[in-house]
Structure formats: structure tokens, C-alpha cells
Amino acid sequence: MPFAPRPAIIPQARSRASRPGASMRRAFTLVELLIALGIMALLVGILLPALTAVRRSADRTACAANLRDIGGQFQMYLNDSRSRLPRVNTMPSLSPPLNDAPSIVQVLEPYHRGATGVFRCRQDAILAAADGVPQGHDTYFVREGSSYQYNPFTAALFAGQNIAELKNHRGGRLDQTPLMFDYEPFHGAAGTRGSCNYLFADFHVGDLN
């Protein structure tokens, strides 16, 4: 009887799932993903405050530039008024009004010619709950027409007088006498250095020492 060869047995290829280490590799990839997500969350937590601080610093610089521009307008006003300080209503929104004087924005209108954006600080926000601001009126720029207040002391005592009188009052100095400043500490906690920008009577902008 002739010899019949036995059919060759072809081994079944193992599925990927049954290969040694496959599940371990998938688990390791998941761990890597979780680690990456954790690192990203950590970086966001670290960088977000820094980015916020950078933005606030940029806004404060822009605010100071606004006051320098306003200072230039004020100098032109003084040139035309023979150095006499204006009558100004420092809180135009009050009812009844503080007085019948125009706002500082109105006083300087011939020099800004309606370009009132320079009177708006990007960090402008009414912070005091006692202000009783109507809904939708949440900035001084909206309520008063300006983020910057004309010095109420100067408005009350020196309206119509020569600006030089400011330095004659109690030994004052023009470079230490604020003309205008942020209505509130828009740029930091009240009382901290840099929380407000000031335009002084010598027309430099800086902090109140």
C-alpha cells in the first residue's frame, strides 16, 4: 500500500490581542496620555497667572499713555486760557449735579475733537458696591464719560486760578500735585504701588509717592 503523506499542519497566527505584551503596550500608552494631560494642566496653572499679570501690566501702560495724551490736551488748554485752571464737574453723573460746570471731557473737547477713547482705561470697572450703579452701567467711562477723575480738591479751590498757584498752596510742588487719576485703583489692590495712574501738574505720569 503506497504511503500517503499526512497533510501539513499550518500553525494559526496569534491575534494581536493574544500576543505577549500587547495589552501592556496599550496600558502604557494610556498612562502616557494621562501624564501628558497632567503636565498640560500643570503648565496652564503656572502660566495663566503670569499671562494675566502681563495683560494687566500692558493695560496699565496703555492707561498711562492715555493720561499723557490728556496731559498734552490740558497743556494746550492752559496755553489758550493764559494758564488758568478750568471749572470742572468731577462727578457729572450725580443727581442733583455737583455744580453746573462741564466735565473734563467737555472742557478738553476742542483738543481731542470727539476722540474720547483716550479717556477710557481698559481696566475700568466700578468696584464699590455702594455706588448704586444702574444695571448695564458698570464702568466709569460709561457713567462719567471718563475713567479718569479731575482732582476734586483742585476743582473746588483753584478753578479760574493760575496753575502756578498749586505750588504756592502749603508749599506744594507741581510734580507732586495730581491733576487727574484713575477713579478707582484699577491696576491692583488699593494702597499698593502701581494700583493707580496719576497725571501730575507738571504733566508727568506716575505713582503717588
Sign of the CA dihedral 175, 177, 180, 184?
positive
Q: Is residue 154 part of a domain?
A: yes
Mean pLDDT of 153-173: 88
In terms of pTM, does the model score above 0.85? no
Sheet holding 198-200, edge to edge: 148-150, 178-182, 198-200, 205-206
Rounded to whole angstroms, the Cα distance separating 163 from 178 reads 12
Q: Is residue 15 part of a domain?
A: no
Tell me what pLDDT residue 20 has: 53
Q: pLDDT at residue 118 above 60? A: yes
Among 79-83, 94-98, 156-160, 176-180, which is the least confidently predicted range? Answer: 94-98
Q: Is residue 106 part of a domain?
A: yes
CB 205 within 8 A of CB 149: no
**What is the extent of the structural domain holding 201?**
20-206
User: pLDDT by residue (tens digit) across 127-155?
Assistant: 654 445 444 458 999 999 999 999 999 99
Q: pLDDT at residue 55 above 60? A: yes
| Cα-trace Rg, the chain | 34
Q: Is residue 6 part of a domain?
A: no
Q: Is residue 2 part of a domain?
A: no
Question: Based on the structure, what is the number of domains in the chain?
Answer: 1
Tell me what pLDDT residue 135 has: 44
Q: pLDDT at residue 51 above 60? A: yes
Q: Is residue 77 part of a domain?
A: yes
Tell me what pLDDT residue 26 has: 56
Q: Identify how many contiguous H helices and E strands the chain contains and give both numbers.
A: 6, 4
Helices (H), 13-107: 22-80, 104-107
Tell me what pLDDT residue 53 has: 73
User: pLDDT by residue (tens digit) across 60-80?
Assistant: 999 999 999 999 999 999 999
150-159 per-residue burial string, b: 16 or more CB within 10 A, e: under 16: bbeebbeebe
Confidence of residue 25 (pLDDT cuts 50, 70, 90): low
Which carries the bigger pLDDT value, residue 11 or residue 70? Answer: 70
